[in-house]
Structure 1
Amino acid sequence: MRFFSSLARLAPDTSLQSQRAVQRNSRTVLLSTLLAIVTIGAFCGEARATVAMLQPARVAAANEPLQITLLYSADDARALTVTVPPTIRVTLTGAEESPQPLDLQREPGVPDTLHVRPGQFRKVRFSAPWPQSARGEVRIDPVGFDASPALVAINRGPQQDAIAQAERAESEASTPAQAAEAAAAVGGPTGDAMSPPGDSLSTTGRGVLAHVSYYEPMYIAFGHNGDTNARLQLSFKYRILMPDDLRSKAFLDNLYFAYTQTSIWDLSADSRPFRDTTYSPQLFYYVPDTGWHSPLFTRMGFAAGIAHESNGKAGSDSRSINMPFIRPTWEFGDLTGNHLTVSPKIYYYLGTSNNPDIADYRGYVDLLVKYGSPDGWQLATTLRKGTKHWYGSVDSQFTYPLAKLLGSKWGGYIWVGYFNGYGEDLLDYNNRQHWMARVGYSIAR
């Protein structure tokens, strides 16, 4: 009995020792884990630095190498040692080519490792010749490091060296006067090498989409005034030839085919038919910037060609017109902020046998007036005045980026429209629409 009593007294001591041993082991494991985390963190911090790719010049000469500059900087409060690779890889996507890899060599004289102190940064340049297949606007995507892609216009024209030099001088200029002087060195602003902001449909420049861009606004909107209907419009233009020099003003280098389709959708009628649809193919010459300068305006564009409009119907409902036209466009103010655009489209009618009096209601001029900014709200109004009485129309469209309302993941615009007058569609060109307001969504404006 005394043996078992002694054993019973010893048992708690043995258990307590085991618990203490377990606690000591747990503390040891915990300290070891924390030490490992700190060691790994220190190792990662020593091997990691913030890497950024600087934006290359917007316009590059084809006979000069592609040059990419990486910026290494410390991302914490202690000095870092970073390894610089001998080459980096990017993919080039443009013209009619699918994405192509390109390896760029590190500039001579740069060591394999860099020591970067807190708050310090180091620039390292990599370069490689442009491939022969790279033409027009080319997208550059980094491979193996996190950096935003860049869009560069490759110039293969006879003035490519002077244009690229002026572009670099303009981007490095510290005053507007120096930038203007650099641009004037090659006979005008370098910014006309590419289409205006928002004009391009393809940001990658891959395949046929490199030639396609938006034309008229594209939207769908709904309204009610006695009956409920919707108005929707699709519109694209296609650049037939992609020139070596994107600044070229030559006729064939700036020849476009466009197609616009506008429908009025009757949602109140049985089976909800499309009341009328206007089909409008066009062939025209277009430059967003003519290079003409004046103290009165910031930029002047120009278009001229021939347009066809018809509603595809037969008999008494058939409507069809052909219109040769010219369209100058003047922009006033800061093109990156709120600015004014005035664009009269002047035309003449050919072949109006189905609607010979259309000029009485529509006239010979569409006057487009826009005000707003590329990344903010915009109000665009088209005015028409018929040749008789007070026939004509007012068509206003207000747009605002959805990204500013709902967050950056949203694309397109909220669209609010107002129409009053004659000729919202071809079928009813001679019938008055007193007014119609609609709200909808737009992907291009």
Structure 2
Amino acid sequence: MRFYASLARLAPRTSPQNRHAILRISRASLLSTLVALAAFATCFGEAHATVAMLQPARVAAANEPLQITLLYSADDAQALTVTVPPTIRVTVNGAEQSPQPLELQREPGVPDTLHLQPGQFRKVRYSTPWPQSARGEVRIDPVGFDASPALVAINRGPQQDAVAQAEQAESQASTPAQAAAMAAAVDGPAGDAMSPPGDSLSTTGRGVLSHVSYYEPMYFAVGHNGDTNARLQLSFKYRILMPDDLRSKAFLDNLYFAYTQTSIWDLSADSRPFRDTTYSPQLFYYVPDTGWHSPFFTRMGFAAGIAHESNGKAGTDSHSINMPFIRPTWEFGDLTGNHLTVSPKIYYYLGTSNNPDIADYRGYVDLLVKYGSPDGWQLATTLRKGTKHWYGSVDSQFTYPLARLLGSKWGGYIWVGYFNGYGEDLLDYNNRQHWMARIGYSIAR
């Protein structure tokens, strides 16, 4: 009341009607202020729960349910009561299947509300059967709650229970030695055959579209030596069948179709034509890890198949070859860090078109030597030696992640290439390219 008396003294000459109006306005303003202060105190004094989705095991048995674990924690200094929903929803994306919504049921015995003291947490599990259509690696996206997606490889093979149990034990291992032993039980001593840290032949691309991945490097680069030209390459491979057991070494389970297109673009000539383009479809068997072990190498991969190369031209400019090939690949050192890769591609010519002497300039072996790390710089060099004189070529490509130069929002790599010798394209397989250096951008390496 002293507050109102003070207001009355501030306006001694105001009429009684006006003084009553001022007091009514002041009471309303004071009430609004008190409500705002109460709301402010409530907002800053209220305890909030943190909800997180724990990462599920990377390998799951198809005959076991999909299980999602939510972690509720009281992070503030006050006790907390949390309402736990009876169901949660996620979507599952796998291979070429459209996203499939799933509803997971809360585990029995969990009450509808949890009472957490400051600093306490509680795990709540939800589960539902895997969809029958889910194959290979699938992505799990939460719906209605804030959590990161998760990737899980579904094993439908005869040993799915043993593999899933070994994977779960690995995730719960308390020491690095125990984790390494469990990893060997799942994948063999060479490491993770389910998702290798760097494909033996190229950059693997297992994801939502798990049949499709990168094959040879994909890049665009420009250089100048007398004239200005660009070199660009597109390449991918497609896994024809997705096996129930992703570790399978069976022939049909690891059969791939690949397509690579390499072009030389003349930027100095009138109308800037593509001087030559090489089209190369391939069909081959490929495993990144054969399971053969040795103290001399970390992992051995293997590929074998048939490749066709053609420049798609007619008349005397037409050149094409058919090559059955085998390609073993050995990797040395830590596959997650800097390591050496040696991969000879050995082939034979079944048929040639307007280039019967191509072996004189190209030979029968492409020797690929790479050194670098999956998340750092890498130098890859392909060497060829023709059967006559000193004919052959050197093709070197240096790549470095743009994310390390410009920040994490950037993808791909800066690409620097050097070529010297014969056979950069089919049209000029018997013409010497003294040297050409280019710089550009690479999507995959």
Alignment partner of 1:69 is 2:69 = yes
Question: CA shift at 1:175, angstroms?
Answer: 3.6
Question: CA shift at 1:185, angstroms?
Answer: 3.9
Deviations 1:195-230 (A, max 9, x none): 65574546323xxxx311110011111111111111
Deviations 1:352-396 (A, max 9, x none): 241122122112111111122222222211111222222221111
Deviations 1:316-374 (A, max 9, x none): 21111111111111122222222222111111112124112212211211111112222
Deviations 1:298-325 (A, max 9, x none): 2211110010111011222111111111
Letter in structure 2 aligned against 1:367: L
8 Å Cα contact 2:204/2:215 also seen in 1: no
CA RMSD of superposed structures (Å): 2.5
2:99 and 2:24 map into 1 onto residues whose CA distance is 62
Alignment partner of 1:191 is 2:192 = yes
Name whichever of 301-310 and 401-410 sits farther off. Answer: 401-410
2:225 and 2:366 map into 1 onto residues whose CA distance is 25
Alignment-derived partner of residue 355 in structure 1: 355
Alignment-derived partner of residue 297 in structure 1: 297
Alignment-derived partner of residue 29 in structure 1: 32
Alignment-derived partner of residue 371 in structure 2: 371
8 Å Cα contact 2:417/2:437 also seen in 1: yes
Question: CA shift at 1:25, angstroms?
Answer: 4.9
Alignment partner of 1:224 is 2:227 = no
Write the mapping of 1:103-252 to structure 2, written as runs, cut at 5 A.
103-185=103-185, 188=188, 191-194=192-195, 196-197=197-198, 199-201=203-205, 203-205=207-209, 210-252=210-252
Write the mapping of 1:50-89 to structure 2, written as runs, cut at 5 A.
50-89=50-89
Letter in structure 2 aligned against 1:298: T
Counterparts in 2 of 1:110 and 1:104: CA distance versus 1, 3 Å:
same
Counterparts in 2 of 1:417 and 1:22: CA distance versus 1, 3 Å:
farther
1:116 and 1:368 map into 2 onto residues whose CA distance is 59
Alignment-derived partner of residue 332 in structure 1: 332
The match for 2:41 among 22, 33, 38 is 38
Letter in structure 2 aligned against 1:223: G
Alignment-derived partner of residue 309 in structure 1: 309
Alignment-derived partner of residue 3 in structure 2: none
1:118 and 1:385 map into 2 onto residues whose CA distance is 71
User: Could you say what secondary structure the match of 1:191 adopts?
Assistant: coil
8 Å Cα contact 2:95/2:208 also seen in 1: no
Alignment-derived partner of residue 266 in structure 2: 266
User: Could you say what secondary structure the match of 1:98 adopts?
Assistant: coil
User: Could you say what secondary structure the match of 1:139 adopts?
Assistant: strand
Letter in structure 2 aligned against 1:192: A
Question: CA shift at 1:14, angstroms?
Answer: 9.4
Question: CA shift at 1:163, angstroms?
Answer: 1.2
8 Å Cα contact 1:153/1:194 also seen in 2: no
Question: CA shift at 1:179, angstroms?
Answer: 3.2
Letter in structure 1 aligned against 2:33: L
8 Å Cα contact 1:323/1:347 also seen in 2: yes
Counterparts in 2 of 1:38 and 1:200: CA distance versus 1, 3 Å:
farther
Alignment-derived partner of residue 4 in structure 1: none
Structure 1 residue runs without a partner (length 5+): 1-7
Question: CA shift at 1:261, angstroms?
Answer: 0.1
Counterparts in 2 of 1:200 and 1:74: CA distance versus 1, 3 Å:
farther
Letter in structure 1 aligned against 2:366: D
1:9 and 1:146 map into 2 onto residues whose CA distance is 60
Name whichever of 405-414 and 301-310 sits farther off. Answer: 405-414
Letter in structure 2 aligned against 1:191: D
Deviations 1:168-198 (A, max 9, x none): 2223223444334334446726721246557
Structure 2 residue runs without a partner (length 5+): 1-10
Aligned residues: 431
Alignment-derived partner of residue 403 in structure 2: 403
Letter in structure 2 aligned against 1:283: L
Name whichever of 12-21 and 237-246 sits farther off. Answer: 12-21
1:345 and 1:35 map into 2 onto residues whose CA distance is 75
2:167 and 2:41 map into 1 onto residues whose CA distance is 48
1:376 and 1:196 map into 2 onto residues whose CA distance is 13
Alignment-derived partner of residue 420 in structure 1: 420
Alignment TM-score, normalising by the size of structure 2: 0.90
Alignment-derived partner of residue 275 in structure 2: 275
1:20 and 1:187 map into 2 onto residues whose CA distance is 81
2:12 and 2:38 map into 1 onto residues whose CA distance is 40
Deviations 1:132-177 (A, max 9, x none): 1111111111111111111111111111111111222223223444
User: Could you say what secondary structure the match of 2:192 adopts?
Assistant: helix
2:71 and 2:316 map into 1 onto residues whose CA distance is 69
Question: CA shift at 1:236, angstroms?
Answer: 0.8
8 Å Cα contact 2:137/2:206 also seen in 1: no
Question: CA shift at 1:18, angstroms?
Answer: 7.3
User: Could you say what secondary structure the match of 1:192 adopts?
Assistant: coil
Name whichever of 147-156 and 270-279 sits farther off. Answer: 147-156
Deviations 1:108-147 (A, max 9, x none): 2222222333333222211111121111111111111111
2:23 and 2:204 map into 1 onto residues whose CA distance is 72
8 Å Cα contact 2:230/2:265 also seen in 1: yes
Q: Which runs of 4+ in 1 moved over 6 A?
A: 12-21
Counterparts in 2 of 1:414 and 1:31: CA distance versus 1, 3 Å:
farther
Letter in structure 2 aligned against 1:193: M
Name whichever of 279-288 and 10-19 sits farther off. Answer: 10-19
2:57 and 2:13 map into 1 onto residues whose CA distance is 83
User: Could you say what secondary structure the match of 1:352 adopts?
Assistant: strand
Letter in structure 1 aligned against 2:121: F
Counterparts in 2 of 1:386 and 1:17: CA distance versus 1, 3 Å:
farther
Alignment TM-score, normalising by the size of structure 1: 0.90
